[in-house]
Amino acid sequence: MRYILKRLLLLIPSLFLLVIAGFLLIESAPFNPEELALETEADINRLADLSQKEIQKKQIRRKYGLDLPVFYFRVTHLADIDTLQRISSSTERQLIRQLLIRNGNKSAVMNYYQSLKEWLDYSIINLQTEKDSLVSESVRDAHAMALSLVSTWNTETIEKQINSIQQIYDSTEINERLKQTFHVFKSSFILLKEQSQPWKTWIPSLRFNANNRFHRWMFGNGKECKGIIRGDFGISWHNQRPVLPYLFPKLLWSALLTFISVLMAYAAAIPLGMAAASKHNSVFDRMLQTVLLILFSLPSFLAAIILMRTFSNPDVLNWFPTGGIAPTGGFDQHDSFMHRLLKTIPYLILPVIAYAYGSFVFITRLTREQLIQEEQKAYAVTAKAKGLSKQVIFRRHLLRNSLLPLITVFSQVFPASVAGSVIIESIFTIPGMGQEALLAVYQMNYPVLVAILFISGLFTIIGYLISDVLYVFADPRIRLDKNKPD
Amino acid sequence: MKRKAILIITWIWLSVLAVTGLLAPILSTDKPWVVKHNDKWLFPAFSNAHAEIVLPKESLATAWKLKPFEFSIWPPCTYRPGNTDWMNISVSPLDKQFFMNPYNEIVEIPIKYRHWLGTNHKGEDVLAAVIYGCRHSLAVGLFSMILAGVIGVLLGMIAGYYQNHGIQVSLGSLTGGLTGIVPALFYGFVRPSLILPDDSEKEANAWLMTAFISLLIFCGLLAIFVLFGKWMGKKIPVLNKNISIPADAIITRITEWMNAMPKLFLILILAGLFNKTAIGLVLILGFIQWTGIARIVRAETLSLRQTTWTESAISLGLPGLRIVIRHLLPHILPSFMVVFILGIASSIMAESSLSFLDAGIPDNWISWGTLSGNGKRHLENWWLLAVPGTLLLFTLLGLSVLADHYRRK
């Protein structure tokens, strides 16, 4: 019991590692949900649309927690600010980041950014209200230049741009308010240039943030997001539904297939391995070895296709349906559970074989090798000398001692078959987790990917745990040996 | 001996594959190896300088085949992957194939221009694709396992040889190193990554160079901090205590965690993240496959550590590195080879599975997996699946036989 408890405790860091890996995955996604959600293009010249879009963007950023810093702590330079993520436009974020690392004066940079934004707003308003076409032409030019300032952080280039805008503004009759905001902006730029503190950007600093994206993702924020720890994997970016309820039925199919195939693999492999070992070096043994070697080298997708083309092909043998999991049109509503199961079985046979053969080959070879090794040990020779039949020796004496490596393998067979599900399910079109994972990879749907990674990792860990428990049953020494270093 | 014959056949087969992969651009090309033109010998397949030869219909893939030369030697496969032959679309290896000669007459194809393994639905030669696929599949398998082998042997040896008490670090250097992490990270990675160049045009492979320089700065700074900590340790007695790093426990734990992840899932997901380059694929496979090697190397080192001759080498005062390299490594080699070869097989299998699913591979990637995937979409043309599938099966079989041989040894 203590042994099992100890193993259970060891699971916690593994789970934690899985969570961190999942979080890193989501964070390194090449695009954000905000970009997915904002596919409707608004006319950038119309202020109403622009501000509408701005508000919408802010809401989405808050919904996905993108307005928070990434992690509990981060390494950065002394002049960096912590609230950068609250700005919704990625270009503006980049502008501030670049100005900060080049200039080093926090307040001057923020002042510059704010006056730039204000001036741009007035510029847009002015652009829309201006009636005179000649004036509006040059103002339009000036506005285009001003917009390019948002993605410019080289001081000399900014200065050049400002000077040419100044020339345009001087030569045309424009709104007094616009001129004023432009002057404010210009003076903030001069301030930025004069008050630069580049030494600050060379000093490292470690920042802490209690409220961050990881915390929100892991523990939830008490409102819309419940956090991984309560089983909330977020919302699928593709169909905007919660991930876990959506994945659950698929998980059941995958788990069923994996379970049946692992069970079948063991049930078929151990007797076969025993038979081969007891007739060691016979013709049967050698034939089996060769066949197993070939099967071992057969990639599972080839095996699946060969099975499909042989047993569900109208030209060869049309025994089983090609793919899917249920008869076309679904089950009859009045069917009982047993009926449904019976109707499903033909759909399951080929996938289960394709699933199981890899582990089956592996286990058979291992059983055979293990038994042959055990047979040469002293206790087996003694048993033989006592006059016991070969059958009895194998079943009573050798099998139990050969079980340990087989149990170790159990923890490896499990992840292998979970991964194998990707290929088999996509070939046999089974609506399981593997197919969902493939779809999520194609669509770059990261929350679903993370959930699948987490679930399959959990499955694997459970496999490890089961094999640990089985160890105790197979080998009583493990139970007694309390000081055994794991 | 029968077993010996099988082994020899395996070696021949694997070397044929290796040579094919190595020489793929020469074996499969749409230009002749040697031609005699105006009494001059030219080598179009090996150099691009063939200005004096005027080809009819230059834009066509079959341009070189249309020019009548006095004398020419052609490679075994006279097509490149991507060359489309519109005369022969979806022809099987056994079908009659056609050819349009320079006089625009359709005739049966000359034997040297035949599509020996048929063509696909675009009229691309299957043999050419298979030759290039061999190159890519083998390269990914081999290089990823070399990476995995380096990591695995290194970590396995450290875990097995030093165990939990072998590596002693003074408290001073430990504190030095820990405090050094933040500045080293900052100057090595954070600050360079924060600065975006003004002109966004960057070289394609610049990130590799940048990463290398960053790593250099990181390690250098960390080393400076560690040395400073060590020096401080000599001055301050509290920091002079030695602490042993439980290398074995750490490495075993990492291996266990890595094994807890379903591998193909992990590869699939990581491959979706990386920039979908061949190097990325090799790196991912290498960083996932090392655990098996590390486990075997650790176990072997652990048992070798207890032999009398290792003990005597230690008591002679030989340095640890010398013992490991000169005395332990040769003994580990046979069992290492088994895992290494099986690892190549499983890398190839993982790569072809990814390619089969068309997930996380570079654009226009040709390997036996992508060819099989294409074959699965056109099942009515049996050769599209049978050719790459058989090759894959026999390659993996050859590697398994070889691994089996090393295991028996």
A188 and A335: one domain?
Answer: no
A76 and A173: one domain?
Answer: yes
Domain presence at residue A20: no
A228 and B CB contact within 8 Å: no
Number of separate domains in chain A: 2
What is the spatial distance between Cα B35 and Cα B273, in angstroms, rounded to a whole number? 47
A211 and A248: one domain?
Answer: no
Higher pLDDT, A11 or B155: B155
A207 and A276: one domain?
Answer: no
What is the spatial distance between Cα A228 and Cα A1, in angstroms, rounded to a whole number? 29
Higher pLDDT, A269 or B270: A269
pLDDT of residue B379: 83
What is the spatial distance between Cα B41 and Cα B49, in angstroms, rounded to a whole number? 12
Domain presence at residue A11: no
A336 and A435: one domain?
Answer: yes
Residues from chain A that touch B359, judged by Cβ atoms under 8 A, are 438, 441-442
A157 and B CB contact within 8 Å: yes
Which of B185, B260, B272 lies closest to A464 in CB terms? B260
Q: Which residues pair with B324 in a beta bridge?
A: none
pTM of the model: 0.80
Q: 3-class DSSP state for residue A208? A: strand
* Residue A431 clears pLDDT 80, i.e. is over it: yes
A190 and A251: one domain?
Answer: no
A156 and B CB contact within 8 Å: no
Domain presence at residue A237: no
pLDDT of residue A42: 44
A143 and A291: one domain?
Answer: no
Residues from chain A that touch B183, judged by Cβ atoms under 8 A, are 204
> What is the percentage of chain A residues whose pLDDT exceeds 90?
1
Q: Which residues pair with B100 in a beta bridge?
A: B106
What residues make up the domain containing A68? 36-218
Best of B165, B255, B273 to substitute, by most chain A Cβ atoms within 10 angstroms, is B273
When pLDDT is averaged across residues A352-379 and rounded to a whole number, the result is: 87
Last residue of a domain, one of A201, A218, A235: A218
A179 and A266: one domain?
Answer: no
Domain presence at residue A255: yes
CA distance A417 to chain B (A): 8
pLDDT of residue B52: 66
pLDDT of residue A40: 45
Q: Do B185 and A293 touch (CB under 8 A)?
A: no
Residues from chain A that touch B187, judged by Cβ atoms under 8 A, are 204
A456 and B CB contact within 8 Å: yes
A266 and A129: one domain?
Answer: no
What is the spatial distance between Cα B285 and Cα B281, in angstroms, rounded to a whole number? 6
Domain presence at residue A30: no
CA distance B74 to chain A (A): 34
How far apart, in Å, are the Cα atoms of A115 and each of A44, A184, A187, A191, A392? Answer: 20, 7, 9, 12, 90
Q: pLDDT confidence of A180, banded at 50, 70, 90?
A: confident
On whether the CB atoms of residues A166 and A186 are closer than 8 A, the answer is yes
Q: Which two tokens stand for residue B196?
A: 């975006």
Average pLDDT across each block of 10 residues of chain B; the chain has 409 residues. List them in order.
Answer: 87 95 88 80 74 66 75 84 80 80 77 82 87 93 95 91 82 85 85 67 65 89 90 81 85 80 75 74 90 91 88 87 86 91 92 86 87 87 89 93 86
Q: 3-class DSSP state for residue A72? A: coil
Which of B198, B260, B272 lies closest to A154 in CB terms? B198
When pLDDT is averaged across residues A85-99 and rounded to a whole number, the result is: 82
When pLDDT is averaged across residues A295-314 and rounded to a whole number, the result is: 85
A294 and B CB contact within 8 Å: yes
- Residue whose pair of structure tokens reads 């072997």 in the numeric block: B300
Q: pLDDT confidence of A211, banded at 50, 70, 90?
A: confident
On whether the CB atoms of residues B298 and B159 are closer than 8 A, the answer is yes
ipTM of the complex: 0.80
Residues from chain A that touch B397, judged by Cβ atoms under 8 A, are 293-294, 297
In terms of CA atoms, which chain A residue is nearest residue B6? A290
pLDDT of residue A484: 46
Domain presence at residue A440: yes
A159 and A274: one domain?
Answer: no
Q: Do A298 and B194 touch (CB under 8 A)?
A: no
A315 and A456: one domain?
Answer: yes
Q: Do A299 and B352 touch (CB under 8 A)?
A: yes
On whether the CB atoms of residues B351 and A433 are closer than 8 A, the answer is no
Nearest of A94, A230, A81, A218 to residue A152 by alpha carbon:
A94
Q: Do A415 and B379 touch (CB under 8 A)?
A: no
Domain presence at residue A101: yes
Cβ–Cβ contacts within 10 Å for residue A117, how many? Answer: 15
Domain presence at residue A122: yes
How far apart, in Å, are the Cα atoms of B235 and each of B168, B176, B178, B228, B371? Answer: 19, 14, 19, 11, 66
On whether the CB atoms of residues A115 and A184 are closer than 8 A, the answer is yes
What is the spatial distance between Cα B315 and Cα B244, in angstroms, rounded to a whole number? 20
- Residue whose pair of structure tokens reads 């109208």 in the numeric block: A314
**Residue-wise pLDDT tens digits, A308-354:** 888 877 777 777 777 666 665 566 666 677 777 777 778 888 888 88
Residues from chain A that touch B198, judged by Cβ atoms under 8 A, are 153-154, 157
A236 residue type, one letter: S
Residues from chain A that touch B345, judged by Cβ atoms under 8 A, are 297
A378 and A458: one domain?
Answer: yes
Higher pLDDT, A267 or B38: A267
Q: CATH number, domain at A423?
A: 1.10.3720.10
CA distance A59 to chain B (A): 27
Sheet holding B40-42, edge to edge: B40-42, B34-37, B71-73
Q: 3-class DSSP state for residue B1? A: coil
> What is the percentage of chain B residues whose pLDDT exceeds 70?
92
Q: Which residues are CB-contacts of B193 (< 8 A; sequence separation ≥ 6)?
A: B214
A93 and B CB contact within 8 Å: no
